Amino acid sequence: MAKHLFAIAAAISLASAASAATLSVTPDAQTYTVGEIITLSVFGDSEGEEAAFVFGRLLYDSPLASYVSSNQQPLTTMFGSTWTQGALTGGIDAQGRGFADAFNQTFSVNPGDAANPLIATATLLAESAGVLDLTWQTEGDPNLVLSFFSLSDAPGTNVTIIPIPEPSTLGLLAMGAVLMAAAARRGRRA
């Protein structure tokens, strides 16, 4: 009997672990040049869980990038009710960190499910060279920390921003290519 109870408890814990919500953020490239737009795609799956609201704010090093915009698609319940979308903002917080709200939605009646995945986008402008780490805000004001169904923490991402090559560097590269082409041409004649 104890073996059966243990097997049932194990099956229930595995089933509940398998239904945990998931959230990811993915850049459209791993390397950007200063002045380029960084597009971050956010994808979330409630895995059948319910919540009254979902909110996600990405934090980053403000000297390396600046906020451009964010947008989100509304969540819809399995009965067709649409979640209410809240404002998405970005800028620099009180600690000097850059931030971009990726999603902000509430369900007005009771906790609701989400029949469709969360799809959101945040765009930043690459401002200076370095490695830009993007993490979810998980501490501080309870209204601004990550809340996506059962998730209160999720992996972030990072991208590399490289400086724009100086015109003199581009000129040297072009001159080197011309000289190599001329040398190859001479080699074929001889």
* Structural domain that includes position 114: 23-163
With respect to residue 61, please indicate whether it lies within any of the assigned structural domains. yes
Q: Taking 60 as the threshold, does the pLDDT of residue 34 lie above it?
A: yes
Tell me the pLDDT band of 11, cut-offs 50, 70 and 90. Answer: very low
With respect to residue 15, please indicate whether it lies within any of the assigned structural domains. no
Tell me the pLDDT band of 19, cut-offs 50, 70 and 90. Answer: low
With respect to residue 169, please indicate whether it lies within any of the assigned structural domains. no
With respect to residue 158, please indicate whether it lies within any of the assigned structural domains. yes
| pLDDT average, residue stretch 129-148 | 96
pLDDT tens readout for residues 75-133:
999 889 999 999 999 999 999 999 999 999 999 877 889 999 999 999 999 999 999 99
Is residue 142 within 8 A of residue 60, CB to CB? The reply is no
- What does the mean pLDDT of the chain come to? 87
Q: Taking 50 as the threshold, does the pLDDT of residue 36 lie above it?
A: yes
**pTM of the entire structure?**
0.78
Q: Taking 70 as the threshold, does the pLDDT of residue 59 lie above it?
A: yes
Q: What is the CATH number of the domain that holds 155?
A: 2.60.40.680
C-alpha span between 156 and 153 (Å, rounded): 9
With respect to residue 45, please indicate whether it lies within any of the assigned structural domains. yes
With respect to residue 179, please indicate whether it lies within any of the assigned structural domains. no
C-alpha span between 77 and 160 (Å, rounded): 38
C-alpha span between 22 and 19 (Å, rounded): 9
Total domain count, the chain: 1
With respect to residue 111, please indicate whether it lies within any of the assigned structural domains. yes
